[in-house]
Chain A
Amino acid sequence: MTLITTRPGPGTARPYRFPTVVRRDVAGGRVVAAHLPGQNLAVALLLLDAGAGREPVGKEGLGAVLAKALEEGTAHRDATGFALAVEGLGTELATGLDWDTFQVSVQVPVDRLGAAVELLAEAVRTPRLDPDDVRRVRDDEATALRMDWANPGPRADAVLRADLFGAQHRWGRPLYGDPDSVAGLDVEDVTVFHSEWFLRPGTLVVAGDLDRLDLDALGAAAFAGTGGGPVERGGPIEVPLPTGRRIILVDRPGSVQSTLRLGHPAPHRAHPDHVPMTLAGTVLGGAFTSRLNHLIREVRGYTYGIRGDFASSRRFGRFAVSSGVQTAVTAPALVEAVGEITRTRVGGVTEDELAVARFWRAGQLSVELQSPRAIASALTTLVVHDLPDDYHARLREALLAADVAQVSAAAATHLHPEALTLVIEGDAALIRDELVASGLGEVTDHVG
Chain B
Amino acid sequence: MPDSGYPWPIETTRLDNGLRVVVSEDRTAPAVAVNLWYDVGSRHEPAGQTGFAHLFEHLMFEGSVNVAKTEHMKLIQGSGGSLNATTNPDRTNYFETVPAEHLELALWLEADRMGGLVPALTQHTLDNQRDVVKNERRQRYENVPYGDAWLRLLPLLYPPGHPYHHATIGSMADLNAADLATFQAFHQTYYAPDNAVLTVVGDATAAEVFALAQRYFGAIPARGDIPAAPDGHTVARTGRPAVETVTAEVPAARVYVAHRTHPFGSPGYDVATVAATVLGSGRGSRLYQRLADGERLAQPDLVGAYGVDLAHAPAPVIATATARPGVSAQRLAAGVAEVVDELATVPVTATELDRAKALLSTAWWRQMATVDGRADALGRYATQFGDPAKTADRLPGWLSVTAGQIAELAADLLTPTDRVTLTYLPEETS
A interface residues with partner B (beta carbon < 8 Å):
1-5, 7-14, 16-17, 37-41, 68, 71, 79-80, 83-84, 87-92, 107-109, 136, 140, 143-144, 146-147, 150-152, 254-257, 287-289, 294, 297-299, 301-304, 324-326, 355-356, 359-364, 366-373
Contact = CB atoms under 8 A, between A and B. Distances in A.
A360 B99 CA distance: 10
A298 B128 contact: yes
B366 A371 contact: yes
Nearest to A153: B144
Contacts of B220: 1, 3
6 contacts: A1-B221, A13-B99, A13-B100, A14-B100, A288-B77, A297-B132
A370 B79 CA distance: 17
Given A88-B355, A143-B299, A304 B252 contact: no
Nearest to A110: B365
Interface residues of B, number: 85
B138 A326 contact: yes
Contacts of A107: 362, 366
B366 A71 contact: no
B115 interface: yes
B370 A257 contact: no
B29 A366 contact: yes
Given A1-B220, A289-B74, A41 B139 contact: no
B419 to A, nearest CB: 25
Interface in B95-154: 97-105, 108, 111-112, 115-116, 127-136, 138-140, 142-145
Contacts of B302: 144, 147
Contact of B104 (A8, A13, A38, A87): A8
Contacts, number: 233
Given A14-B203, A366-B99, A326 B135 contact: yes
Interface string B1-32: 00000000000000000000000000011110
Contacts of A11: 100-104
Contacts of A4: 66, 108, 111, 215-216
B28 A38 contact: yes
Interface in B79-94: 79-82
B369 A359 contact: no
A166 to B, nearest CB: 29
Contact of A16 (B30, B131, B215, B284): B30
A303 B135 contact: yes
A83 B283 contact: yes
B301 interface: yes
Given A4-B111, A88-B355, A370 B29 contact: yes
Interface of B: 28-31, 65-66, 69-70, 73-75, 77-82, 97-105, 108, 111-112, 115-116, 127-136, 138-140, 142-145, 203, 215-216, 219-221, 249-252, 282-284, 288-289, 293, 296, 299-302, 322, 324-325, 351, 354-355, 358-359, 361-362, 365-366, 368-371
A255 B111 CA distance: 41
Contacts of A92: 282-283, 359
B82 A88 contact: no
Given A3-B112, A41-B362, A41-B366, A356 B77 contact: yes
A360 B369 CA distance: 22
Nearest to A68: B300
B105 to A, nearest CB: 6
A304 B74 contact: no
A1 B116 CA distance: 9
**Pairs of residues from A and B, 9 with the lowest C-beta to C-beta distance, nearest first:** A363-B80, A301-B131, A90-B358, A83-B283, A356-B78, A90-B362, A150-B251, A14-B30, A8-B104
